[in-house]
Each structure stands twice: as C-alpha cells, then as structure tokens.
Structure 1
C-alpha cells in the first residue's frame, strides 16, 4: 500500500494538471479530483485505473462501541483514503466535494511547468516537421471539417513518429486519443509474450476431458516452450474412431511429432533424459509434416450446430418478410426502423394460409410467442390494427449489440435448452482445460481465438435465439448462466479488446449481448438480472429488468451470493475460471468460494487487528449480509478453520479495521 506522502503527492499532481482546463486555486483540495489525465502515465508517475477520492463509506470499520487509543494514531488515516470504486458495470460513485488543503504545492507547480514545457516541445517538433515537408515541395494533407480548423497528419508520418499507435486496441473509437495507454499496452505485451521457437514441423497431442496425463503433457510441452495442436476426442469424436481403427484403442494421451508417434508422458520423459528429445525437436524445426501426419481440427469438423429439422413457421416468416417489406414508421410520436403493421401481417396470413382474420391473429400470436417478431414497445403479443412490430433480427439492439445472430434468425426448430447447455458446457470445459492455467487465473486468449473449439462454441450460441428458458431448473440455470457469462466475457474481449477505463467497462458489461429466448442479454443483465434475482447493480438506481420486462421471469427466485466467486470478467482480481455442472453446482460454488477467499480474497492480520478484503465483498455486500459484520461472518465460512476462528474472535472482542484491496482490472493473461 502506498504511503500517505505518496498518495498526497499523486493527488496534488492530478490537481495541477487539471488546472490546464480550468483555473483551480492552490487552496482547493486535490483529494477527490478525478480528471482523466492520460499524459501522467507516460511520465515517471503512475496512477491506478480508478481515480482517488475520499469516501466516508470506505472508512475503516471499527466493530466496537468504544474508541481506543488507536484512533489517535495518525497512521490510521492511511486507511481512510480509498479509491473511487468502478464496479463491474463500469459505474462509479459520484465525486465527493473537496475540502481546502495545501498538499505539496511546490511539486505540483513543478510538474505543471514540466507538462507545459513538454507540450510546447511536442507541438514545436510537429510544426517543424510539417514545415520541412512543405519546403521540400510536399504539402500536408488537410481535411476540413465543419469547424474548419482541424488538421490530420498523414498516416505514414504518424506511424513513423508514433509507432505504438498500430499496437493500440481499436475496439473503442476513443482509443486514438489515449496516448498514455501505450505504456500499459507495452507492459502487458511484454508480460504476456512468450517467444515460441519457429518450427516447420507440427506437434499434435490427442487428449480427453478430465485426463491427468493429458494435463501433464500440456505442462511439459509448455515448459519446453513448444507450440502444439490439441485434438480433444470428446469434442471431435471422429478422431476417437480414427485412433481406435489404427491402434485398436482410443487411449490418450498420444503425442505425434509430424507423422511419428512418440507416446505419452513416460516416453517424453525418457527421451528428454537420454537427450533424444532435443535432437528430435531440432529436426522438427526444419522438416515439414508429411501427408500422413495427423491434421489439426478442420473447420466445422463434427459440428452439429445449426442443424436440425426445418421449422415450418420459419418458412412462413421468411415469405412474410419478402411480402411485407418492413420500413421505418412513426408510432406514438416516435420513429421505429424496419417495422410492419399488425393489419398488414393479418392480411398476409389471411391470404397465404387461408385464415379468417381472427384465425390470422391467433396464428400471428403463435409466431410472436416463438420469438419471430415482437411489438416495438412490448405493449402486446400481437393484435390486428395499427400496432407496429419488428422481426427479431431487425430489432435495433439485436442488430447492433448482439453477437450470436450474424446471419439472421435460424430456420431450424429450437432445440431443448438443456441439450444446448450441455453442448456449450462440453466446449467450455475443453477450452478451459486446453487454454487456461491449472489455477484458472491465466487465460491464453490468443490460442482461444484461433481454436476450432471456440469457433464451434460461437456457432452453437446461435441456437439460443429462440429457446425456451422456462424449462431450466434452479441448478440448471445457475450452471448455464455462469458458464455462459464466463464465455461471453472471453468473446467480448476477443471481439473488442479488454476494457481499461470506466466508460469502456460500462460498454463491455452493458453493450455486448447475446439473443437468448428472443431477448437480448448483456453481461450485466445475466449477473444482476438473473443470478442476483433482479437486484440493482452497485451504485445504480434502477433494476436491470423493469416490472413488465419478460426477462424477469428467467430470474432466480432468490439471489445466489456464491456466484460472485464464479463469474470471471477477464480481470486479475477476479475469481478463477472454471466450468460448472448442474449436478454439482452448489458443491462447486462452495469450492470456488473457498478458493477465492483463501487465496487473497480475505486476509486477516490478527496482531494488527486488520482485515483486508477483495472489493467484490464490498460491491455486493448486500448479497452477503445486512452490515459489514455479517459480510465478514459469511466469508469466514470459507476460510481455513484457524483463520476463521481468529476472525470470529476479533469480530466478537475487538474493534476490527476493515480495508478493501485495490481492484486490479488488468487482463488475466
């Protein structure tokens, strides 16, 4: 934890840099200013992702009726300075008012002058470069926009002057102004990059879910820093038959170096001990695989996603789209895109299916119940008249924010949600075993992105478009939505890049969606709307689902607090990534809670009488108890018995100080 002087120095720094945009007197307190100063990251100073402020709610909790002498100790004031809390939805606590203070004014002024000087030098250098180009006969490109005073520098010069621009994540349109983020990106890439020797040959390993020897093979090859292709025979059953045909058995693991079968862990260890393994690896560097070598999984191999019996209703809806030709219309003083009138749909169904109007209305309701279209304001299921309806794939939110409907609504009949959940769980399990560390804290996103397992997973999620979620039991809902949330987070990171700021996190948790059962669900909707039984997210004034929102029917009857130890959003301070099954969901959640709490989620210093907790316990404290004491007692159930006893004794006999650890939002790579 940083000292008080360092904290005050950082706060003073932020205050003076903010004075570039508004005149702030030196008497104004710098604690609480949350100006987003990106240039600070490129200097020798560094700031945490979350701005700092003084929050009374964050003050150390003294669980005692009396005040001891410890209250007079000035070191305790260190615990009262808490960072602002960007929660999982990207929201933040409103800024608290600042109090007059004069902290490190000399250093703040010095830094202000330093920033001004560096800014002047940068502008002068850019102008000098542009001037030299003009003198040589060239002219800088000028794009005059509406304000007429903006200039764009040629891309070639920008690449030459700022090579890091190409490395920056581009998922957010605002990323091009975040120069200070380059340092963080470079550090992340340095930490995560592992040099793998270039190899012309191909190493293939056959594995199976839950195989300990397969895990040993993976660890061995990764320690040797060798790239390999994994073929899981549970995911690709045709390869299982292939092994049985060739060897008379599908026992795994089996390791191939090109077309040569090496064997299993024992054979690899023997080769390494004799020195033959290094010789074989050197040969693989220059020898390409032969035609008889095992091939990597092919696109679409053993993939049954989007297959099934054609839905007769879908054929009618397809023809309905061609005839009605949805267009933009006005309804109740609002404009809606790609919609059609209820009367038009009734006319079509009457002519196409030879229905009376009453029968056509009933058939239209059947189509709406099967999630082919819906009322633009969800006022009714389907009625004749001037009501406006839009097809599922024409919904503005579905079109712009849902990532499991790339080719429109599927024409096959929806499969049972239990069957789809089982197939998704199988792929999740395979992905986690192959591309996640054994402790679940480090994810190989690059390998996941290129894997056939993940591509198949995304294709299977398309089958969720029109499923009936009402078939799920509590245990099935817990396992399905926890696994789906974790894989959605990976999908969002691979599609957009990891969020680094509060607004990016808000977009990440609120705007990346799947269509499930005819409705869009974001990460926040799954977390707070379903798993937390439609409770308000931290620091939010509204619930995820309104009273008339049909998605509220999917919510759990009671919130399950242990889901907070299972939901992984790609951060280092989050829980370990695991796959959960409906048959053992409660046991697995308790194991995840124990793993989270015992590995830094709650640290108790009995001598100092201080408890340091992960911020998840603070953000979602309402799920664990009515007050901080109850939250700690709930967490004590998952600590080691000795530590749990110490905590309970401190809660009963002393005034315990509770601090909350800074949340590390960096990517879990």
Structure 2
C-alpha cells in the first residue's frame, strides 16, 4: 500500500502551486539531496521535492563516498537522504514530510529568490568515471559483486514506487538490463573467496544476498507464507567459487559466523563443509540492517563497499533505528518497542534485554529518540516488546 502524503506537503505540491511558481521567473537557487541509489527514503524525498518545481541537485553518495565525511560534518548525521534548500539543512525524508506549510513555503521562496553560494555545499568533481557495468572490469569477487549490485540498484531505482515501498518485479523481468545481470551472475562461480579480507567478505556477501533475493523474486515470485519463505531462503542459491550458497547459508553461515538461523535445528555448515572456511569468525550484528529479504519490514537496499564498511553499516543501523519501524520509545510507559529482528537475533546483540538496549543506545544517532531511550534506561524500569513484522512482499503485483 502506498503511503499517504501528509497534508502539509499536499498544500504546496498541487499542480496549481507549482505552475504559479513557474510564472514568477527564473529560479536562482537549488535543492541539494545527498542520497544513495535504491534507497526508498531517498526515492520518496526526491519524488516529493520534484513536485515543488525547483531544480534538484542529486548527489549519489554511493558513487562519491569521498563526500561522506564532509556531509556528516556539515549535518551531524551519517544517514541518507540529507536535504538542503540552498544552504539551509532541513534533515532527512522524515523531516521533509513533517514540514509545516508555512515552513515549506519559506524554503521554496528562498530557493526561488536567492542563489546558493558555489562553495556552500560539498559536490563531486566533474567528469568522474561512472563505473560502467562490464564484467571485464571485475578482477575479483568484490569487483564483480559491486558491478552486479549496481545493476540491480539501477533496476530497483527504476521500478521502485514513489513511496519507496513496492517494486514492479514483473516489469523488471522484461528489462534488458535484468537479462544482462543474469548473464553476469553466472560468473560468480569463478571468483576466489578464501583470499577475501573481513571487509571484503562483508561487502561481497551482503551485496550478493540482496541481489539474490531480487533475482529470486523476479524468477520465482515472492514467497507469501511461512512454508514458501522456508523454501525460498533454503533453496534459492548462487554457485559462488565452486560452492552452492543459499540465502540461509550466506546470512547465517557466512555473515553470522555459522550460527543457527531462526527455527533452524542445525548450523548451516558442518565441521567438514569447505564453505566453513569462508565464514566470518563471529556474528556481525550490523548486517541485520543491511540485508533485505524482500519483505516490507526489511531495511532498505543499499550498496556496500569494502572501504569503510563498518562506517557504512553503522549508518544503516542508525537509519533503521531512527525509523519507527525499527524502534519506538514510549517514555511515559517506560516501554521500548522493537522490530522482530532484535528478537530473532537477540544473541547477536548480547543475549539479554539490558545488553540489547545498550547496544541500540550506542548505535543511535544524536536525536530526541536517543535522549528518550537514555532516560528510560536511567529509570531502571523498562519493558521491552516486539512489534509485528510486516512479511508482505514489496512487489507491486
């Protein structure tokens, strides 16, 4: 179901309002959005901004990671999107959607009437490589994974609904770009995994997992019940480096250090399984905010690179916790409501409510929600509950 736009945005996003603005003359300023390809929150923000009739400069942080530190220093945040009206920072997508009509009107007028200083915001250098997706450029597992992932994200971005919640997998299946992706995915069988560093493994297997979910949804259709989900995650697989890796193998075998998955009786890899050599030594809790299983309750899909992977994953966790689908703090009741992800994988976050909540506090950004959680923790009387998980598919058909 598509999200309903808040009344405050509908007031200024009507065609009449935009047309009236366009007759007032040339726009002197611009809106700048720092985003990541395929991020649902970014898609929704850019769709909303597009209705204002203002020029929007979209800076893809996936292509320009060198700007991350500058943007974080400027905004105090590491999540995307980050939105500026000229040089006025308003925050992310949630902040945009919550703007009051008079606030939004003032910002629109600012962009129309005043130019933005050329050095006010960090922008990428011109004429940088676009990272074209050719298999010949891939010298190893990480490179091939990045190429495949970028192709999937292009498809995801093109076939993503305006609210960032649904994907038209049916239309995607007819795309020549998807067929090219399928051809390149075959080459995963030739990659060499044992030489990968921890950082390279994290980026490679997170990207591969997310791409495999999309590939499986397009070819087989999305699972709609518990039994179908069991089969999907235990049978949909890629041949990687000469070994078969299912979604279950990637998540619980490799990325969680060969731990039992939800409702699993055995570990994915036995002691004699050659794939055990690829598994990370310990569970990596941050991967839970990067893996997207194709359900509406999952974190958004993003691209990950080995360089600065821990920072990227912390950003993903911070973004997930900022969203009320991930964490809700009720100070009056002394209650913290969490995504089921924290219940299913509680062992990865310390195993107890206290350790879990302290982990969450440590990985939250500076925000009112963090202050509320700190206050609740200080009171010593805390109730932890878990919200129902939205297993509905993110397919629009």
* TM-score relative to the length of structure 1: 0.39
Contact 2:47 2:162 in 1 (8 A): no
CA distance in 1, matches of 2:312, 2:133: 29
CA RMSD of aligned residues (A): 3.3
Find the residue that maps to 2:244 and give its secondary structure.
strand
3-state DSSP of counterpart to 1:573 = coil
Q: 1:553 to 1:595 in 2, by over 3 A?
A: same
Is 1:419–2:143 an aligned residue pair? yes
The answer for the alignment partner of 1:593 in structure 2 is 317
Distance 2:158 2:341 in 1: 28
Q: Corresponding residue for 1:648?
A: 374
SS in structure 2 of the partner of residue 499 of structure 1: coil
Corresponding residue SS for 1:583: coil
Instruction: Please point out which of 277, 286, 295 is paired with 1:553.
Output: 277
Contact 2:207 2:304 in 1 (8 A): yes
Matched, 1:667 2:383: no
Return the offset for 1:524. 0.7
Matches of 1:632 and 1:515, distance apart in 2 = 38
Local SS of the residue matching 2:194: helix
1:622 matched to 2:325: no
The one-character-per-residue Cα deviations of 1:496-531 (angstroms, maximum 9, x if unpaired) are: 211111111100100111111111110010000011
What is the CA-CA distance between 1:426 and the residue it aligns to? Answer: 3.0
Equivalent residue number for residue 488 of structure 1: 212
Aligned CA distance change for structure 1 residues 661 and 470 (closer, same or farther; 3 Å):
same
Equivalent runs, 1:165-176 vs 2, <5 Å: none
Give the Å deviation of 1:617: 0.5
Q: Give the match for residue 97 of structure 2.
A: none
Return closer, same or farther for 1:417/1:520 CA change in 2, 3 Å cut-off: same
1:61-140 to 2 correspondence within 5 Å? none
Match of 1:450 in 2: 174
The 10-residue stretch of structure 1 (464-473 or 645-654) with the greater mean CA deviation from structure 2: 645-654
Residue aligning to 2:265: 541
Structure 2 CA distance for aligned equivalents of residues 539 and 303 of structure 1: 38
Residue 221 of structure 2 corresponds to residue 497 of structure 1: yes
Are 1:604 and 2:329 an aligned pair? yes
Q: Is the 8 A contact 1:633 1:648 kept in 2?
A: no
Residue aligned with 2:202, SS = helix
CA positional deviation for 1:652:
3.6
Give matches, 1:42-53, under 5 Å: none
SS at match of 1:607: coil
Q: Is the 8 A contact 1:441 1:577 kept in 2?
A: no
Highest RCO, 1 vs 2 (Cα 8 Å, sep ≥ 6): 2
Per the TM alignment, residue 607 of structure 1 is displaced from its structure 2 partner at its CA by 0.3
Q: Which of the residues 352, 359, 363 maps onto 1:638?
A: 363
Deviation (angstroms), 1:453: 2.1
Does the Cα contact within 8 Å between 1:598 and 1:638 map onto a contact in 2? no
Write the mapping of 1:331-410 to structure 2, written as runs, cut at 5 A: none
Cα 1:418–1:578 change in 2 (3 A) is closer
Partner-residue secondary structure (3-state), 1:507: helix
Structure 1 spans left out of the alignment, 5+ residues: 1-187, 192-208, 224-301, 309-413
Counterpart residue number, 1:565 = 289
Cα distance in structure 1, aligned partners of 2:358 and 2:263: 24
In 2, Cα distance between equivalents of 1:577 and 1:602: 19
Question: What SS class does the counterpart of residue 637 from structure 1 fall into?
Answer: helix
| Structure 1 position 544, deviation (Å) | 0.4
> Is the Cα–Cα contact under 8 Å of residues 133 and 147 in structure 2 kept in the other structure?
no
Post-superposition offset of 1:219:
4.2
The match for 1:246 is none
Partner of 2:232: 508
CA shift, 1:632, in A, is 1.3
Residues 206-265 of structure 1 show CA distances to partners (whole Å, capped at 9, x for unaligned) of xxx979xxx89x949x97xxxxxxxxxxxxxxxxxxxxxxxxxxxxxxxxxxxxxxxxxx
Contact 2:149 2:211 in 1 (8 A): no
Query: 3-state SS of the aligned residue for 1:590?
Result: helix
| TM-score relative to the length of structure 2 | 0.63
Give the equivalent residue in structure 1 for 2:384.
658
Deviations 1:124-146 (A, max 9, x none): xxxxxxxxxxxxxxxxxxxxxxx
Q: Which residue of 2 aligns with 1:459?
A: 183
Matching residue of 1:575: 299
Shift of 1:304: 5.0
Q: CA separation of 1:434/1:585 partners in 2, compared to 1, >3 Å: closer, same or farther? A: farther
Q: Which residue of 1 aligns with 2:86?
A: none
Distance 2:271 2:336 in 1: 39
- Please give the alpha-carbon distance, in whole angstroms, between the structure 2 residues aligned to 1:582 and 1:440: 26
User: Which structure 2 residue ranges, 5 or more long, are not aligned?
Assistant: 5-34, 38-42, 52-131
8 A contact 1:440–1:578 mirrored in 2 = no
Write the distance in 2 (CA, Å) between the matches of 1:590 and 1:532.
Answer: 16
Match of 1:404 in 2: none
**1:434–1:586 distance in 2 versus 1, CA, 3 Å:** farther
CA distance in 1, matches of 2:205, 2:293: 13
1:610 Cα deviation from its structure 2 partner: 1.4
Q: Separation in 2 of the partners of 1:527 and 1:654?
A: 34
